[in-house]
Structure 1
Amino acid sequence: MSDIAVMTDSNCGLMPEEGRRYGICILPMPVLIDGNTYYEGVDITSEMFYEKQKAGALITSSQPSPGDVMGMWDRLLKEHDEVVYIPMSSGLSQSCASSMSFAREEKYKDRVFVVDNHRISVTLTHAVLDALNLAKQGKSGAKIKEILEQEAMDSTIYIAVDTLEYLKRGGRVTAAGAAIGTALNIKPVLTIQGDKLDAFAKVRGMKSAFRTMCKALHKDIETRFSHLYEKGLLQLGIANTWMDTEAIERWKQALTLEFPGMELTHIPLTLSIGCHTGPGALGIGTVRKHVL
């Protein structure tokens, strides 16, 4: 059995220090703020990020440099036989495609396995934990990649955006549309199904947005994922950008009541999503889990 290191990036919602507790190597994602580069969980916290965002800073997401990616591979390969790297979905960033290209270099061939798992946030975290469990079962890096890519579509995410301000700043909503939407208390609901972030619905108020997301999630569980649900192989997830503790606890309680008996994981939404949604966004979803 080969010794396998499991690696991901901070788009999973876990920071490098948290990753060490799980035995996961986490590459911090860069974010550009007023022309300066910060690394998620290293030299900028969520609180600092959203304070700068609300103050009007110019913020854009970025991807890790080739040196950062391959530098971590090199360090891991000094202590491990293989590396399984699960970055954010290829449909949401070029980082996955770039890493696959790097992994074809001779020094990494058959030693580094880049997984296009089409995941982000809590669903990506579960894929990474699955990789750890599969490695413990004695699966090779190549086999882990094969399994995770086969199961890539066994997840669904819905995200309610509390403010239109940051979609307007990013050019995804016009200034006029944002003004009208704000006046009407419109909350866009987005969805991530595999490799893309798409519009799903527009509703009035976060409570209506939550009901809309729950209805969609019920439908997914009853149709696409019924075979997994019946076998006890589905896990609930909830994630959020910056909001107070009491608010997220209320949403967690509401989700637990809506889906009784399902295990719930809470992980913050990554800054890569927060760049576009701003604070107060709420995501819910479900994902396949592996049972040892």
Structure 2
Amino acid sequence: MPFAVVTDSTAYLPEGFADRHAVRIVPLFVHIDDREGRDGIDIGPAELAVALKERRTVTTSRPSPAEFAAIYRELLAEGASGVLSVHLSSELSGTWESARLAAEEVGPDRVRVVDSRTTAMGLGFAALRAAAVAAEGGDGAQVEAAAVEAAGATKSFLIVETLEYLRRGGRIGAAAALLGTALAVKPILHVVDGQIVPLEKVRTTSRALSRLVDLAVEAAGDQPVELAVHHLAAPDRAAELANRLDERIPRSSGCVVSELGAVIGAHTGPGVLSVVVCPGKL
């Protein structure tokens, strides 16, 4: 077996991508009031959006080191030559730390762990690139390098209906300065060195949508790219955004659309739209 690739549920790979590319997904956990469920398995985007709109208590938690260790051992027992485990930014979650502790237990010579310093398809593209190199027979160093390079080159931009959810979860850092702005102002944020930080402010959702497209076009330049659009409870606007990106960025292989699951959605809220641009091709 080639090197095995593991990531977590916040990669939000489109349906079927994980199986097609032999990427193992470890779910994070979501808590709605007193109920706990696995991200994307027990609790999906629709249930999350309803819970947030009803102002129920929504929190998230990471997998334990023991859960990661069990998966690493399973993959190695099945014949994998090693494991690459790539996860959402350690600035946003303790998931990477759990994976690192598990790797130490199983054997750091057999399990490599990468902090992607991003999330959603920024993480997803990194895992897919690593899996492609693994499928071609790449060794551990090559598989890890593919993930690190893809994650480092990826640009992620997002607009949210409100910063309240990010503020509650402590995930906005410097973006807290934007709280209290006029309701007509839509903050555009981006992921920088593992954190979600403000980029600029735009008036009206329509202008914010156009600005997302412009930012993606600038990030793509004239090079081949992979594109993804994420949303939560905003499928029509996500489809419109994807169509506009396809028109403006001809050197992409097509824009994939994926709804954010409960973990990231809990911190961005319904109505979020995000664009992820990853240079190169799978």
- Could you list the per-position Cα deviations for residues 96-116 of structure 1 after superposition, in whole angstroms to 9, with x for gaps in the alignment? 1332233123x3232111122
The answer to whether the 8 Å contact 1:12/1:270 transfers is no
Q: Residue in 2 aligned with 1:246?
A: 236
The answer to whether the 8 Å contact 2:150/2:278 transfers is no
The answer to whether the 8 Å contact 1:10/1:16 transfers is no
Offset of residue 169 of structure 1: 4.5
- Could you list the per-position Cα deviations for residues 79-134 of structure 1 after superposition, in whole angstroms to 9, with x for gaps in the alignment? 023111111122322221332233123x3232111122323111222111111110
Offset of residue 13 of structure 1: 0.4
Q: Distance in 2 between the 1:218 and 1:188 partners?
A: 19
Offset of residue 48 of structure 1: 0.9
Offset of residue 44 of structure 1: 1.1
Q: Residue in 2 aligned with 1:282?
A: 273
Q: Distance in 2 between the 1:19 and 1:165 partners?
A: 32
Deviates more, 1:258-267 or 1:133-142: 258-267
1:181 is aligned to 2:171? no
Considering only aligned residues, what root-mean-square deviation do their CA atoms show, in Å? Answer: 2.6
SS at match of 1:215: helix
- Could you list the per-position Cα deviations for residues 122-162 of structure 1 after superposition, in whole angstroms to 9, with x for gaps in the alignment? 12221111111101221112321133224432110000002
Larger radius of gyration: 1
- Could you list the per-position Cα deviations for residues 261-288 of structure 1 after superposition, in whole angstroms to 9, with x for gaps in the alignment? 4222222224222112211110012113
1:153 is aligned to 2:161? no
Q: Distance in 2 between the 1:249 and 1:152 partners?
A: 24
- Could you list the per-position Cα deviations for residues 4-27 of structure 1 after superposition, in whole angstroms to 9, with x for gaps in the alignment? 221111100038976334422111
1:268 is aligned to 2:269? no
Question: What percent of counterpart residues are identical?
Answer: 27
Q: Residue in 1 aligned with 2:116?
A: 117
Q: Residue in 2 aligned with 1:70?
A: 69
SS at match of 2:242: helix
Q: Distance in 1 between the 2:16 and 2:217 partners?
A: 34
SS at match of 2:118: coil
Q: Residue in 2 aligned with 1:237?
A: 228
Task: Give TM-score scaled by structure 1 length.
Answer: 0.84
SS at match of 2:267: helix
For the structure 1 residues 236 and 120, does the alpha-carbon distance in structure 2 shift closer, same or farther, using more than 3 Å as the test?
same
1:49 is aligned to 2:52? no
Task: Give TM-score scaled by structure 2 length.
Answer: 0.87
Tell me which of 235, 242, 257 is aligned to 2:247.
257
Q: Residue in 1 aligned with 2:194?
A: 195
SS at match of 1:153: helix
SS at match of 1:181: coil
Q: Distance in 2 between the 1:89 and 1:168 partners?
A: 17
The answer to whether the 8 Å contact 2:125/2:151 transfers is no
Q: Residue in 2 aligned with 1:101?
A: 101
Deviates more, 1:259-268 or 1:80-89: 259-268
The answer to whether the 8 Å contact 2:226/2:281 transfers is no
Q: Distance in 2 between the 1:271 and 1:131 partners?
A: 25
Letter of the 2:103 partner, please give it.
A
Which structure 2 residues correspond to residues 24-35 of structure 1 after superposition, within 5 A?
24-35=23-34
The answer to whether the 8 Å contact 1:155/1:193 transfers is no
Offset of residue 165 of structure 1: 4.5
Q: Distance in 2 between the 1:71 and 1:85 partners?
A: 13
Q: Residue in 1 aligned with 2:88?
A: 88
- Structure 2 stretches of 5 or more lacking a match? none
Q: Distance in 1 between the 2:75 and 2:109 partners?
A: 14
Which structure 2 residues correspond to residues 191-230 of structure 1 after superposition, within 5 A?
191-222=190-221, 229=223
